[in-house]
Amino acid sequence: MAQIEKITKQTDNRFVNLYHVEGKNRVGKPLHYYVASRAKTIEQMKLKTKVNRPDGVIIYSLYGENHDKVILVRQYRVTIDDYIYEFPAGLVEKGENYREAAVREMHEETGLTFHPLEAEECFEKPYFTTIGMTDESCASVYGYATGTISRKYMEESEEIEVVLADRTEVARILWEENVAIMCAYQLMHFLKNEDPFYFLK
């Protein structure tokens, strides 16, 4: 197993920072690795705390009287200079739990009211997003949304189009569009199962 000997913070940003990790790899040769993290300090990094608290939350929500549409956001992302389809999502703020964050984020991004379902811990617990480059982890929350779509509560930095996609549109999106991996896997379930939340029961 590799041995970490030194960590240096490279940036001091609000939402994400870069850390340089140095040490020895499994055969004793020098190790240099760069980790993007939501942590504000070295001591708060997950490789230090060994505690996997969710940095963010991902919201898998159905919509409509028959719950036959899934709520997606088509969002511009600077990293690809293009739009990508995702589930509504966001960071868990200080003082709130991830379920509270899900309700808040759904309202901010879509104007809709989110009603979370109860789920076993294994379905909601935080999982790592892109572990090869970041220690970020996100919890998942499932449920139903009601109300009318509104851009009133969207942040200025966000460039989002809310999409209520039925199975025909989901199939098109999976074939033709950029889709975030965490969203894509669940959309495959939505496409093939009459009850998309069957696995929660």
Provide the residue ranges of all domains of the chain, joining segments of one domain with +.
Answer: 3-49, 56-200
Instruction: Please tell me the class of the 56-200 domain.
Output: alpha beta
pTM of the model: 0.94
Compute the distance between CA of residue 175 and CA of residue 192 in angstroms, rounded to an integer: 15
Compute the distance between CA of residue 62 and CA of residue 34 in angstroms, rounded to an integer: 38
Q: What is the pLDDT of residues 154-194, one digit of tens each?
A: 778 889 999 999 999 999 999 999 999 999 999 998 998 88
Confidence of residue 134 (pLDDT cuts 50, 70, 90): very high
Q: What is the pLDDT of residues 49-92, one digit of tens each?
A: 999 999 999 999 999 999 999 999 999 999 999 999 999 999 99
Tokens of 73: 């956001």
- Identify the helix (H) or strand (E) that includes residue 109: helix 98-110
